[in-house]
């Protein structure tokens, strides 16, 4: 009788989970992440205090930031973190909603799996529900004028209402809309707003009400030489992507100096080169120089003598913003500088902001890049205000890109749930179950909003279903006043683009996790004991040592 030979396929220490156990593990991980984020949803949502391994604390209610800061271990949970990041990169808002929904889709799918419904049928049902939901959003969304300041302000204000800085939302949304409308551009017949053209600079100190919009650029730099002017009106600005230094040769070179005269001539030659560089800049009429590279000490002296204000080592991204704001062209060689490449600003000034010097370039004629200088009482507040401004800018950009809006407060989700329940009746039996579970999952958003406002979720959902069935498509949870109201009339509005992206991203994440039926995890690398490490080091040293007789 032949003896069975054990066959090792996976590496020793590998772990394998298959079928139902694999799905259950993934669904549980996604559910934990979704539940952690659920309480921070909406204007009455709570914030999280996150402490990293170095002891640095972050206080935030922003979904993307929470997920970025917590170190997630489980691979399925990591997928949700990726989805939130993609949502943030794509539309800049709705990160909490997308994770909460993805988690709920998976919980509902788990219920169907327990009823022996095959994952492929659930996936098919979810994908059909997603396509139908996106279509419904397009149908019910209200078209708006993308340059209507009131609409844009309300959209920005809704995005800010769930942040720590919510009490300043009217003030901040005004700033954001002013900044956005200043830099919006028409491309291929469509309007677009690039967030790169709105620089958000932050400095702690003062209060959030001191946050200001500068129609120009603010640089976190100082003037290079104390003798230079600190304020220049009617500035003619040169942007240099070249060092104001005598360039070193690329190869190693030695200069043999045999007498002090030769050394003096060598230094004089260096000074002559630097002087001629400064003369060229001065001849164009420039009185402000922003340099991406270094400026030699001697060149600084000559620039100061010529009454030119200079700043060195400016970031490439800031140089591009300066070019857009002032109309200057970036020059890569001092020899190419001429009056027609200079930009203009009413004022360039070095100011002290919170014990640090900053250079303000303001009063540009038609700036296509602007700066929002965020202030706040503490580091945490300034950081959170910066994140809030980013989200508000993103939603304004979304409305400019696709001028359609929907109401907030869970109104869209309830409307979608209602429409999906009707749509489910037209589908084959088991897919119908998947679409109905999908609709149920959507109702979790208004349910969480009601919960955070201290309302009774079951009563709220029942009342919302009744109102939507009666044709009130914008009835939602008025979290601030703890009642159900027409959210459009309350100006709680969101871009349709964000809602569609939330539905797509959450469904895709859930589907991806549902398709997994096998988890094969490699063994983690073994930690060597100190004695073994020492022995290995000695062996290595012996092997590499060379002796000479």
Residues catalogued as catalytic: 62, 95-96, 391
47: how many CB neighbours lie within 10 A of its CB?
Answer: 17
Rounded Cα distance, 146 and 152, in Å: 8
Enumerate the H helices of 169-315 as residue ranges. Answer: 169-183, 260-283, 297-305
Find the angle CA(29)-CA(43)-CA(157) to the nearest 5 degrees.
Answer: 120
3-state helix, strand, coil in the chain (%, to 5): 50, 20, 30
Q: How far is CA 373 from CA 172, 358, 361, 446, 454, in A?
A: 11, 11, 13, 35, 36
- Is 303 in contact with 228 (CB distance < 8 Å)? yes
DSSP structure class, residue 46: P
Q: How far is CA 42 from CA 38, 218, 329, in A?
A: 9, 33, 45
Per-residue H/E/C for 105-158: HHHHHHHHHHCCCCHHHHHHHHHHHHHHHHHHHHHHCEECCCCCHHHHHHHHHH
Instruction: Give first-to-last CA distance, the chain, whole Å.
Output: 64
**Tokens standing for residue 528:** 């060597």
Rounded Cα distance, 18 and 54, in Å: 37
Rounded Cα distance, 35 and 31, in Å: 6
Matching residue, tokens 């946050």 = 211
Matching residue, tokens 């997994």 = 516
Rounded Cα distance, 237 and 515, in Å: 58
462: how many CB neighbours lie within 10 A of its CB?
Answer: 11
> Cα-Cα-Cα-Cα dihedral of 107, 111, 116, 119, to 10°?
-20
**Can you tell me whether residue 338 is helix, strand or coil?**
coil
**Can you tell me whether residue 27 is helix, strand or coil?**
helix
Rounded Cα distance, 290 and 221, in Å: 10
Find the angle CA(503)-CA(506)-CA(510) to the nearest 5 degrees.
Answer: 135
**Can you tell me whether residue 481 is helix, strand or coil?**
coil
CA 478 to chain centre: 28
> Cα-Cα-Cα-Cα dihedral of 274, 279, 281, 286, to 10°?
130
Burial (CB count within 10 angstroms: exposed 0-12, middle 13-18, buried 19+), residue 319? buried
Find all residues with CB under 8 Å of 331, minimum gap 6, and list them.
238, 239, 240, 241, 242, 337, 341
> Count of H helices and E strands in the chain?
17, 21
Name the pairing type of β-strands 288-291 and 309-311: parallel
- Is 415 in contact with 90 (CB distance < 8 Å)? no
């Amino acid at each position: 009788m032949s003896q069975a030979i054990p066959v090792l396929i996976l590496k020793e220490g590998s772990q394998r989970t298959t079928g139902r156990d694999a799905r259950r593990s993934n669904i549980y991980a996604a559910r934990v992440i979704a539940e952690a984020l659920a309480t921070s949803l909406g204007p009455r949502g709570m914030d999280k205090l996150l402490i990293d391994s170095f002891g640095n604390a972050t206080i935030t209610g922003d979904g993307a930031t929470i997920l970025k800061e917590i170190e997630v271990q489980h691979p399925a949970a990591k997928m949700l973190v990726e989805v939130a990041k993609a949502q943030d990169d794509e539309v800049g808002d709705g990160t909490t909603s997308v994770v909460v929904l993805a988690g709920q889709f998976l919980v509902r799918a788990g219920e169907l799996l327990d009823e022996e419904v095959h994952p492929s049928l659930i996936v098919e049902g979810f994908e059909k529900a997603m396509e139908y939901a996106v279509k419904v959003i397009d149908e019910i969304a209200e078209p708006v004028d993308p340059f209507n300041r009131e609409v844009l302000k309300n959209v920005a204000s809704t995005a800010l209402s769930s942040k720590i800085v919510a009490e300043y939302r009217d003030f901040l949304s005004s700033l954001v809309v002013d900044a956005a409308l200043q830099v919006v551009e028409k491309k291929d017949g469509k309007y677009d707003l690039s967030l790169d053209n709105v620089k958000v600079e932050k400095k702690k100190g003062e209060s959030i009400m001191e946050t200001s919009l500068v129609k120009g650029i603010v640089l976190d730099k100082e003037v290079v030489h104390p003798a230079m002017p600190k304020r220049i009106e009617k500035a003619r600005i040169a942007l240099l992507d070249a060092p104001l230094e005598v360039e070193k040769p690329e190869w190693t070179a030695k200069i043999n100096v045999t007498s002090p005269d030769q050394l003096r001539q060598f230094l004089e030659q260096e000074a002559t080169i630097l002087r001629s560089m400064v003369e060229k800049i001065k001849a164009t009429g420039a009185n402000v120089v922003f340099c991406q590279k270094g400026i030699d000490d001697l060149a600084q002296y000559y620039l100061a003598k010529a009454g030119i204000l200079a700043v060195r080592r400016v970031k490439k991204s800031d140089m591009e913003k300066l070019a857009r704001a002032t109309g200057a062209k970036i020059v890569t060689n001092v020899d190419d500088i001429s009056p027609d490449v200079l930009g203009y600003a009413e004022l360039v000034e070095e100011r002290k902001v919170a014990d640090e010097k900053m250079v303000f370039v303001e009063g540009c004629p038609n700036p296509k890049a602007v700066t929002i200088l965020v202030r706040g009482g503490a580091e945490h507040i300034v950081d959170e205000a910066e994140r809030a401004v980013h989200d508000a800018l993103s939603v304004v950009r979304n409305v400019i890109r696709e001028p359609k809006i929907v109401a907030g407060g869970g109104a869209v989700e309830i409307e979608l749930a209602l429409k999906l329940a009707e749509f489910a009746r037209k589908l084959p039996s088991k897919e119908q179950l998947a679409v109905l579970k999908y609709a149920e999952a959507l109702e979790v958003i208004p349910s969480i909003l009601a919960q955070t406002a201290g309302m009774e979720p079951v009563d709220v959902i029942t009342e919302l279903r009744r109102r939507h069935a009666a044709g009130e498509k914008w009835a939602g949870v008025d979290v601030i006043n703890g009642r159900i109201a027409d959210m459009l009339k309350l100006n709680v509005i969101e871009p349709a683009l964000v809602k569609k992206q939330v539905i797509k991203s959450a469904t895709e994440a859930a589907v991806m996790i549902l398709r997994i039926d096998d988890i094969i995890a490699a063994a983690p690398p073994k930690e060597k004991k100190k004695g073994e490490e020492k022995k290995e080091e000695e062996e290595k040293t012996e092997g590499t040592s060379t002796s000479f007789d």
